[in-house]
Structure 1
């Protein structure tokens, strides 16, 4: 028995490395694009709408991965699923390095987002299976690693792009290839770990059709979608905004993005116990409202209020893990289905959100083009785009309030 316990303990450690390391890599892959996008835009001569289309199109890769990852993990096993997720991210880094035009970079990003989608769903399902005790605490800790890597990703990315190798700069291409190659590190212990299927018996589960009839499930999708669109948009647009609206350097803008993720990281580490005390839905109402107010106030205050962009990370950070905890509590027998359903539909919202931001920026630029200089119209467009990001956080709060009232009427407040 002692040998069995020791073996299980070692296997649990391997699985912890996969989960925590996977979220660490996930944070890097998602948030090194902030400093890279302005240089990519300059090198490939892309406008803001093309950047929005690029991010939206590649979110389709993420969405596609969300639709089949749950099925793949059940059929082929978690080991193969996570190996494919990590492996596709490594390959995408090589493809980004050799991408010579907009079409090629779009295809490479598409592959990277497939890896990201597989990784997010796979890690969420694995975490739900192994974090049987102290589930809320462990979920928040796992997502803390995402925040940790997200905090340092922009600074590391900006620094690596300026590193000279053999007389030439590494640039955004080399930086992507190097950072995504790190996916091999959590992939290796995953190959030696044992994954036991601890799913509920079929009789205790419901069908996807039955699940989709639950109005609460759709409200949770809306809450998460608004929250995640607001969260992810910061990584893609904050550096661009600060450089072009305020004339900040790439280094200074990247540091502000890192400050956002530093607040983001600390919030996930500190606020977890608070969400348990005041309740998940009430936490969502308060925190998303705080984030939205900070983002809108930052635009109104101008350059002197730029610190509010970073402070917004405090409110938006706990949204995702809190929703995951809410799903686990409300659907304990069908957590994997609930996660797949919710995150897949969230992916659709992410596509729409990226398109909307890019379109709003370009439309506002054209609207102000006749009444001011090109710089003034660009700033107006960027401000409108960022106001939309803040509005998404406020809508997350509103939908959370509707969810709270619905659960209260049913006496099922979580």
Structure 2
């Protein structure tokens, strides 16, 4: 059986592209296609940056939402629980939308859901109305997330394209808390004003994506996919084929815990810093910024390190370092040091999600890669809702200081699940499969 490290030769072989050699005849005819591809990459990068803004600012808004709606921590947890169902619906709808409307349908419907949710939230609706708006945002995120990730993996340079998309997400996620904090500070602390800005970003996203994918209708989608009968057959059978594989379930369990931990840190760190450590809101928001900025740096720097060391060995080391850093964070109360420690935690969390996708792809047939990744990512979103909600319930019962203990326990469980997940040996990858998945290590 081949190990993850055995893929290096195949990966490097795939990188020996004819772009480095003589130009083939008729290359000039490819210029319009290259320009069209570049415009689509730029459009999807913008989309992922907007996703980063949506994802990273929930924690910054949480204290304001609790105050404005007079919510307890457990009631505020409903915000997280509004995410998984629409996200799962979006994941299940992706195949149908592609079949009926093509990628152009995703390019329009996803941003429209973002726009509708943002405009609705900006009107300061009652709390149940805000939850509906948040669910609309989650539906839009579910549509574009899986669609553009799969699209990027099918490009001529999947490593490069995936890296650009997820790099854009990291930039948006790192910038989001700081921008939201600035907006709310200049608007007398009105949280709903931030959604005006998100609505504007969603409108730009809609315009750019609709233009970039204007010719990708259903007919073109079926023409492009006609050479992949196994994938089309799988879509017709739904998820039943995917769940036959133990690796899929183990990866889903791992992501359930990891994504939940990541979301819990992002969602509650601002409230923890302001309530437990009495830090000013502006500095507390910097803690969230530090976490996401660290994650962006970690994905950039640790991705190549992970490939060189090997996924099996690297991820447990990252998790142990993260837990040790968490212990130091619990002991050191200095705000500046806390921001630095959270950035360190974010950095070592950076490769954890993409590493699981790479290992999963090595353990299952290539014909179910897209469906399997969509499934485990959706399960991860369930964890991203359930575990932050659990912290809200625990916080209301015993106090927000329990946040640190719960996070440490979740990280320990994540480590155990990773060891169980990677206990099996992955199958050998073809050079195409290796090329399409290895680049995720630097993206995620």
TM range (shorter): 0.7 to 0.9
Tell me the distance in 1 between the aligned counterparts of 2:402 and 2:352: 24
CA spacing shift, 1:161–1:90, aligned 2, 3 Å: same
The residue aligned with 2:401 is: 383
- Please say if 1:234 is aligned against 2:269: no
The residue aligned with 1:369 is: none
Listed as ranges, the gaps of 5+ residues in structure 1 are 365-380
Preserved CA contact (<8 Å) 1:28 1:153: yes
CA spacing shift, 1:36–1:352, aligned 2, 3 Å: closer
- RMSD between aligned residues: 2.5
Tell me the distance in 2 between the aligned counterparts of 1:36 and 1:210: 40
CA spacing shift, 1:23–1:411, aligned 2, 3 Å: closer
CA spacing shift, 1:344–1:127, aligned 2, 3 Å: same
Tell me the distance in 2 between the aligned counterparts of 1:348 and 1:209: 19
- Please say if 1:319 is aligned against 2:352: yes
CA spacing shift, 1:411–1:11, aligned 2, 3 Å: closer
- Please say if 1:342 is aligned against 2:376: yes
> What secondary structure sits across from 1:407 in the alignment?
coil
Scaled by the length of structure 1, the TM-score of the pair is 0.86
Tell me the distance in 2 between the aligned counterparts of 1:148 and 1:172: 22
The residue aligned with 2:330 is: 299
Shift of 1:391: 2.5
Shift of 1:254: 0.9
For residue 167 of structure 2, the aligned residue among 130, 141, 144 is: 144
| Higher mean C-alpha displacement, 24-33 vs 314-323 | 314-323
- Please say if 1:111 is aligned against 2:136: yes
- Please say if 1:252 is aligned against 2:252: no
For residue 90 of structure 1, the aligned residue among 95, 115, 129 is: 115
Q: Which protein, 1 or 2, shows the higher relative CO under an 8 Å CA cutoff with sep ≥ 6?
A: 2
Preserved CA contact (<8 Å) 1:230 1:393: yes
For residue 362 of structure 1, the aligned residue among 396, 400, 412 is: 396
Tell me the distance in 1 between the aligned counterparts of 2:42 and 2:387: 33
Tell me the distance in 2 between the aligned counterparts of 1:137 and 1:43: 44
Shift of 1:8: 1.0
Shift of 1:300: 4.1
For residue 106 of structure 2, the aligned residue among 71, 78, 81 is: 81
Shift of 1:312: 0.6
For residue 8 of structure 1, the aligned residue among 17, 33, 56 is: 33
The residue aligned with 1:310 is: 343
Preserved CA contact (<8 Å) 1:137 1:272: no
CA spacing shift, 1:14–1:137, aligned 2, 3 Å: closer
Mapping of residues 384-399 of structure 1, within 5 Å: 384-399=402-417
Tell me the distance in 1 between the aligned counterparts of 2:392 and 2:400: 9
CA spacing shift, 1:300–1:180, aligned 2, 3 Å: farther
Shift of 1:24: 0.6
Number of residue pairs aligned between Structure 1 and Structure 2 = 391
- Deviations 1:220-243 (Å, cap 9, x if unpaired)? 112222221111222211111100
Shift of 1:203: 3.9
Mapping of residues 20-59 of structure 1, within 5 Å: 20-59=45-84
- Please say if 1:277 is aligned against 2:308: yes
- Please say if 1:201 is aligned against 2:234: no
> What secondary structure sits across from 2:366 in the alignment?
coil
Tell me the distance in 2 between the aligned counterparts of 1:127 and 1:137: 9
- Deviations 1:340-375 (Å, cap 9, x if unpaired)? 2111222222232132111221222xxxxxxxxxxx
Preserved CA contact (<8 Å) 1:299 1:383: no
- Deviations 1:20-75 (Å, cap 9, x if unpaired)? 11111100011122222111211111110111122212333223322322432233
Shift of 1:278: 2.2
CA spacing shift, 1:294–1:73, aligned 2, 3 Å: farther
Shift of 1:398: 1.7
CA spacing shift, 1:125–1:350, aligned 2, 3 Å: same
Preserved CA contact (<8 Å) 1:229 1:389: no
> What secondary structure sits across from 1:182 in the alignment?
helix
CA spacing shift, 1:72–1:297, aligned 2, 3 Å: farther
Shift of 1:264: 0.9
- Please say if 1:400 is aligned against 2:418: yes
Shift of 1:137: 4.8
The residue aligned with 1:188 is: 207
CA spacing shift, 1:57–1:190, aligned 2, 3 Å: closer
